[in-house]
Amino acid sequence: MEFSNGTPASSDWDMTMQDDDNMPRDWREYNSLADMIRAQAKQTPNQLALVARSATGQEERITYAQMVWRGEKLARGLYQIGATENDHVGVCLDNKSAYEAIITLLACAFGGMVCVTINARFAEEEILHALTLADVRYLV
């Protein structure tokens, strides 16, 4: 099966990575994003994993080990305030908060929660409607 532009559909598309010995050979080996990130952190804990702008205006540069630690710390924090597996966690951050958005996404993945992105440029009533529609229980 192919898309109209000739690109193979995912069932036919070989996502095997053959050029980089530090990367997993095949993403299908993993059950989830959390499993893949944790495996990469175990294999190359000190390798740079993320370079992103933070809400503070600073550029954050963190390794795989740091990324897992920070994501798991936020996941534990969400659980401590009452979040549970399969809860919907809204992320409403502007474009200057890429670091926080990624860590929140990973926290949701590590904690088994659903990350719901909400456009921070929406009007207040649109944000409230999106939060209600998506059954968001917690908001970052």
The Cα 110–Cα 77 span in angstroms is 12
Fold of 33-139: Rossmann fold (3.40.50)
The Cα 71–Cα 19 span in angstroms is 28
72: Cβ contacts below 8 Å, ≥ 6 apart = 107, 110
Q: Say what the pLDDT of residue 31 is.
A: 80
pLDDT at 30 exceeding the cut of 50: yes
Per DSSP, the three-state class of 53 is: strand
The domain segmentation of the chain, as residue ranges, is 33-139
* Contact status, residue 28 vs residue 15, Cβ threshold 8 Å: yes
* Contact status, residue 59 vs residue 99, Cβ threshold 8 Å: no
pTM: 0.77
Give tens-digit pLDDT for 103-119.
999 999 999 999 999 99
